[in-house]
Amino acid sequence: MPIRWNPRILLSILSAVLLLASPAHSHEFWIEADAYRVDPDQAIIGHTKTGTNFKGIRDYYLPHLFDRFEMIDADGMRPVQGLPGDIPPLNMTPRRVGLHRVIYQSKTKTVHFEEWQKFADYLIDMGLNPPLSRHQEMGFAPNDVTESYIRCAKALIAVGDGVGQDAPSGMPFELVALTNPYTTPEEQGIRVRLLWNGDPAPNTQITMFYGQNETLQIVKVHTDSTGQVQLPYLGTGRYLANAVHFMEAPASYETPWLSHWASLTYAHP
């Protein structure tokens, strides 16, 4: 009996393959809400997306690809539930007003580079130093680079007044908003802290993307010695902040390198 594939899942797989086959690996991953401020009786709807320059491919609800997909409000955590292949993957009715946090932590994936320069270009773009000498010391050729990576995404969504405070969720690499974009005067922007395994991640580049009316602005800032940085206000619209933690992988990963990608999406109304 022939196997029948869900066309939506086939499209998702094909899109992912084409994306990973593109020249650069520096693709952001984020949670994009249809609306970042909703009424209490409206559903919170959103997509997980992979791409560059705040434009990407919409993913489907595929539970075998994530370890955590949750919505957190003042009453606690609820798992984001759905059926494999659902689109949008996030479609939940809020149970109260206030700030809602949606988090997504992917399972470990791997990517292979056949040219060192492509690997080096992605690291440089993320504010990191390509470790060519160490790579060769470990017995690998420059044209043989395999990296494991894990995505740690968060979105801030206001229900009603949006009052509330972001907090660490326990993801290994995480951007935490110290000020609420929905209750802070817009011109101040927001202040964030970057955490690695719960501790501040100092002197780390954060790339911020701002998109509104088909325009895009990209700003790069660095955390201070306490892992904090002020993200500037660039106007009303959607924001994406992205950071990468890169390290030599523990032996259990069976790849020489490991990266964690943290993202934070929100909007200034």
pLDDT at residue number 13: 45
pLDDT at residue number 185: 76
pLDDT tens sequence for the chain (269 residues): 333 445 554 444 444 444 443 434 558 999 999 999 999 999 999 999 999 999 999 999 999 999 999 999 999 999 999 999 999 999 999 999 999 999 999 999 999 999 999 999 999 999 999 999 999 999 999 999 999 999 999 999 999 999 999 999 999 999 999 999 999 876 778 999 999 999 999 999 999 999 877 789 999 999 999 999 999 999 999 999 999 999 999 999 989 999 999 999 999 97
Model pTM score? 0.90
Q: Which two tokens stand for residue 70?
A: 């949750």
**Strand segments (E) across 166-204:** 173-177, 190-196, 199-200
Q: Which two tokens stand for residue 22?
A: 């593109």
Q: What are phi and psi of 174, to 5 degrees?
A: -150, 135
Domain residue extents for the chain: 7-268
Residue 143: is it exposed, middle or buried by C-beta count within 10 angstroms (0-12/13-18/19+)?
exposed
